[in-house]
């Protein structure tokens, strides 16, 4: 598990609109990389290019290379469906399947991947829920609908669902922005535990959060509205928050804009 990602010369379009341009970076395995930047700078779009979710949007199109270890995700003959099975994603708003029980939510990805025996499924569901620090709260009501949980629990359920299929990489698109501070803390603790096994990429609007959870931080910005978003710099989180090389990064972090 946990592979490294190398992006080179990546650009993403919505129809004819160039949303992000010329992004190159390396994302280390077993670490947390945070994407920060003002709204509209394309950090979420970039995140979605990493598991080929961007092209799901009508008109979405990507140019450039994304290497997962040595395999080009945008190479000819690569099936986006299998890419998404190896790169999991957690969304901004908790989105457990409302028509499924807690158990079925966690098992959903496994059932897509193939046939599992009931006992095997039980084991993986328990392991995933434990991995998402949710097991103790839901073990007595696995057959209740997932939508009955609190927002923070739902988000951890979504994380359990994502890690149940044992992905190489876990992408998180502002996973705490819809949660209260206590639930946020629970998710942040969880991210700290998960990074020993997974490559984690997290988009966040909360700079304190980036500083707390991440090992590396990438700052994105756009020159003006309508201009494509670009990667300004990526470095160790400590460095970005103490002594960034680019002036714009410092301005953003110190709250002078954004």
- Residues at the site binding another protein, with contacts judged by CB under 8 A: 51, 53, 56, 81-86, 88-89, 91, 93, 95-101, 108-109, 112-113, 144-145, 147-148, 158, 161-162, 165
Least distance from another protein to the Cβ atom of residue 129, Å? 16
Please give the biggest Cα pair distance in the chain. Answer: 56
Least distance from another protein to the Cβ atom of residue 196, Å? 22
Between 61 and 230, name the residue whose CB sits nearer to another protein: 61
Between 97 and 246, name the residue whose CB sits nearer to another protein: 97
Least distance from another protein to the Cβ atom of residue 140, Å? 17
Between 134 and 240, name the residue whose CB sits nearer to another protein: 134
Between 82 and 243, name the residue whose CB sits nearer to another protein: 82
Least distance from another protein to the Cβ atom of residue 114, Å? 11
Least distance from another protein to the Cβ atom of residue 84, Å? 4
Between 158 and 190, name the residue whose CB sits nearer to another protein: 158
């Amino acid at each position: 598990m946990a592979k490294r990602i190398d992006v080179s010369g990546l650009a993403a379009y919505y129809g004819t609109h160039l949303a992000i341009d010329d992004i190159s970076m390396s994302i280390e395995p077993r670490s947390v990389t945070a994407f920060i930047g003002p709204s509209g700078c394309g950090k979420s779009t970039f995140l979605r290019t990493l598991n080929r979710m961007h092209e799901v949007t009508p008109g979405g199109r990507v140019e450039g290379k994304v290497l997962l270890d040595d395999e080009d995700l945008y190479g000819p003959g690569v099936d986006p469906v299998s890419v998404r099975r190896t790169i999991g994603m957690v969304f901004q708003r908790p989105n457990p399947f409302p028509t499924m029980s807690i158990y079925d939510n966690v098992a959903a990805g496994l059932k897509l991947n193939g046939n599992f025996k009931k006992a095997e499924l039980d084991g993986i569901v328990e392991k995933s829920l434990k991995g998402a620090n949710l097991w103790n709260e839901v073990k007595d009501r696995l057959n209740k609908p997932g939508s009955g949980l609190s927002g923070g629990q739902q988000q951890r359920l979504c994380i359990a669902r994502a890690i149940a299929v044992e992905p190489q990489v876990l992408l998180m698109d502002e996973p705490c922005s819809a949660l209260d501070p206590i639930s946020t803390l629970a998710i942040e603790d969880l991210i700290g535990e998960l990074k020993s096994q997974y490559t984690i990429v997290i988009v966040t609007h909360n700079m304190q959060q980036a500083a707390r959870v991440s090992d590396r931080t990438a700052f994105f910005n756009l020159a003006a509205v309508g201009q494509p978003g670009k990667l300004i710099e990526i470095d160790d989180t400590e460095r970005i928050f103490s002594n960034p090389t680019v002036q714009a990064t410092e301005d953003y972090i110190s709250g002078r804009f954004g």
